[in-house]
Structure 1
Amino acid sequence: MSSLHGDSIVIDGLIIAKWDRSIFEDMKKGGLAAASCTVSVWEGFQETVNNIADMKKLVRDNAELVTLVRSTADIRQAKKDGKTGIILSFQNAHAIEDHLGNIEAFADMGVRIVQLCYNTQNLVGTGCYERDGGLSGYGREVIEEMNRCGVIVDLSHVGAHTSEEAILASKKPVCYSHCLPSGLKEHPRNKSDAELKFIADHDGFIGVTMFSPFLKRGNEATVHDYVEAFDYVINLVGDDCIGIGSDFTQGYDKGFFDWITHDKGRYRSLTKFGPVLNPEGIRTIGEFPNLTQAMEHAGWKASRIEKVLGQNWMRFYDEVWNV
């Protein structure tokens, strides 16, 4: 691990792994100071509460490796202690159900980031795989309440029209925690140049993912293709609002992808990814130092690397979480 990587606050803005001790050990190996960890996608309120309880027990049982994050001060402390800070996050507002009060309840439990929709339509708005009707009236109230409670609005899997309305409706900056540019590969989950500029122009944040089906070279990609994606976005919007959102699915098999890509209508599937292989050089969370090395290889200055590794996320978290 290079001294630059070791000294930096490294944050992954989105991991949806099969949570267990081995993942936490790999986070330590990779030098992660914090990671946004998905604890809800399709689960309703009660199942999500169960997931949060399970994750908190796992964190307690592995307290020498990880710690729960509620603030950026917690991330700094985790870095100082050689641990990884676990940020609880959702990839769908489904768990809020039709009760606005659940947002504050989840915030009190430690949830800090909620994606409005996951690929498809819910009570809040529309995902990226469906005809996009925009933000619902209830969705506007959800955003207002998330702003009040200091919960980040994430639009990664949200449709373009719903995203635009959410960006304009939110009084706090919002994010795409994990996305790629459609300028490198056309895909419903990738964001156009116009979408990327629009969120950046409204003080929003862009986490760049390495999920191979969305990368230009798919399963042939290497860590250098991942850096190319960062470069593409930085050339569009600068390097102050960019960070990592790997979308690591470590530990999961085909059954997980079948579940994650389902839709309304029993057994109805939205999309098929086929075999998913992370880019060579960063196949596991423990290989994160190779990303820093690839950034250096691409001629990035140390100041840019530090910003993209975690400084930018820290500033963004501070701005939204502090209420």
Structure 2
Amino acid sequence: MTSSELHDTSIVIDGLIIAKWGRELFEDMRRGGLTAANCTVSVWEGFQNTVNNISEFHQFFEDHSDLIMQVRTTKDILRAKELNKTGIILGFQNAHAFEDKLGYIQVFKELGVGIVQMAYNTQNLIGTGCYESDRGLSDFGREVVAEMNRVGIMCDLSHVGAKTSMDVIEASTKPVCYSHCLPAGLKEHPRNKSDEDLKFIADRGGFIGVTMFTPFLKQGVDATVDDYIEAIDYIINIVGEDCVGIGTDFTQGHDKAFFDWLTHDKGYARSLTNFGKIVNPAGFRTIGEFPNLTDAMTRRGWSEHKIRKVMGENWLRTLKEVWGE
């Protein structure tokens, strides 16, 4: 089987995309053979503006129904594959939209939200992000984790501090994830996870999606798709190949103003980081080039079984454990 045939017949799931939504982007998802993706609809927004973003996506589902469909269950992901569409999982990169209302969690679940990150870079009512002194999960945060477990929303810890992450992993009765992270063992960075962090989540049934965001890769802006595969293999060598998948963190189509908003605390306050030049790895610049990832895995000598698991089957299995169907 060629790498192209392998890609075409695989379930391909991206654990994190925060791109500029629109038909051009959805067409690129189809070009890349993407079966499903966790698409960010909330970072710094509160309840009302997040509902507005979800409302906009519901209109996308109607206007671009030839390309995309909403995903609420893993059966929907398999259905998207059958229909040659991309399934959209609505996700948050910050639990800020829950505000201080536990009841909002079920409201968002009913609107189709499937994955929520507990904090984005800084402190919120639940816990602490990776750019601040980490005080761990708050008591309110424990209630939030329990309610997310109850309704079936996955807890994401990618931008969360190590102490808060450990507390969430221990508090959750369902698998939690780093939807998009890289190993600190290849490059020291506040956003990257130590070998100990990676072992801790994997040993407790959690999931690790690996990002290709070049500021966090060893080779930085000079990174290629092969450097990305190296990072995935590094993590697999620590935790095994059954709990690892893709979480690119594609920011396709966004301008400098978007990154300024993203990298300021609460979207407007102190600057948290400066990424410098944003460029995706050579060979994997756009979502439409997803087949190049399968090809790079093949060239590296990965087995067909390993490729299928990492490209999407592992995500599918873990999401079913969280969502229940």
- What interval of TM-score do these two structures reach, taking the shorter chain for normalisation? over 0.9
Structure 2 unaligned runs (5+)? Answer: none
* Structure 2 equivalent of residue 270 of structure 1: 272
* Structure 1 equivalent of residue 164 of structure 2: 162
Question: CA 1:279–1:266 in structure 2 vs 1: closer, same or farther (change >3 Å)?
Answer: closer
Q: Could you tell me which of 264, 284, 291 is aligned with 1:282?
A: 284
Deviations 1:130-174 (A, max 9, x none): 000000000000000000000000000000000000000001110
- The count of aligned residue pairs is 323
Question: CA 1:67–1:143 in structure 2 vs 1: closer, same or farther (change >3 Å)?
Answer: same
Does residue 112 of structure 2 align to residue 110 of structure 1?
yes
**Secondary structure, counterpart of 1:288 in structure 2:** helix
Question: CA 1:52–1:264 in structure 2 vs 1: closer, same or farther (change >3 Å)?
Answer: closer
What amino acid is the match of 2:175? Answer: P
Q: Alpha-carbon deviation of 1:275?
A: 1.0
Q: Could you tell me which of 138, 141, 160 is aligned with 1:139?
A: 141
What amino acid is the match of 2:76? Answer: D
Deviations 1:192-222 (A, max 9, x none): 0000000000000000000010000010000
**Secondary structure, counterpart of 2:188 in structure 1:** coil
Deviates more, 1:138-147 or 1:1-10: 1-10
TM-score by length of 1: 0.99
Question: CA 1:187–1:64 in structure 2 vs 1: closer, same or farther (change >3 Å)?
Answer: same
**Is the 2:149–2:173 Cα contact (8 Å) retained in structure 1?**
yes
* Structure 2 equivalent of residue 178 of structure 1: 180
* Structure 1 equivalent of residue 237 of structure 2: 235
Does residue 17 of structure 2 align to residue 41 of structure 1?
no
Question: CA 1:264–1:291 in structure 2 vs 1: closer, same or farther (change >3 Å)?
Answer: closer
**Secondary structure, counterpart of 1:309 in structure 2:** helix
* 4+ aligned runs moved over 3 Å, structure 1: 264-267
Distance 1:263 1:89 in 2: 20
Distance 1:265 1:271 in 2: 12
Q: Could you tell me which of 293, 303, 306 is aligned with 1:304?
A: 306
* Structure 2 equivalent of residue 64 of structure 1: 66
**Secondary structure, counterpart of 2:197 in structure 1:** helix
Percentage of matched positions with identical amino acids: 67
Q: Could you tell me which of 1, 24, 27 is aligned with 2:26?
A: 24
Q: Alpha-carbon deviation of 1:266?
A: 5.3
Q: Alpha-carbon deviation of 1:267?
A: 3.8
Deviations 1:11-48 (A, max 9, x none): 00100001000110000000001011000000000000
* Structure 2 equivalent of residue 321 of structure 1: 323
Structure 1 unaligned runs (5+)? Answer: none
Q: Alpha-carbon deviation of 1:264?
A: 5.3
* Structure 1 equivalent of residue 249 of structure 2: 247
Q: Alpha-carbon deviation of 1:268?
A: 1.2
Q: Alpha-carbon deviation of 1:60?
A: 1.1
TM-score by length of 2: 0.98
Q: Alpha-carbon deviation of 1:254?
A: 1.0
What amino acid is the match of 1:227? Answer: I
Question: CA 1:240–1:266 in structure 2 vs 1: closer, same or farther (change >3 Å)?
Answer: closer
Distance 1:232 1:130 in 2: 27
Q: Alpha-carbon deviation of 1:253?
A: 1.0
* Structure 1 equivalent of residue 81 of structure 2: 79
* Structure 1 equivalent of residue 218 of structure 2: 216
**Is the 2:44–2:267 Cα contact (8 Å) retained in structure 1?**
no
Q: Could you tell me which of 190, 194, 200 is aligned with 2:192?
A: 190
Distance 1:264 1:113 in 2: 20
Distance 1:120 1:20 in 2: 29
Distance 1:193 1:60 in 2: 43
What amino acid is the match of 1:262? Answer: H
Distance 1:216 1:7 in 2: 31
What amino acid is the match of 2:89? Answer: I
Q: Alpha-carbon deviation of 1:59?
A: 1.6
**Secondary structure, counterpart of 2:265 in structure 1:** coil
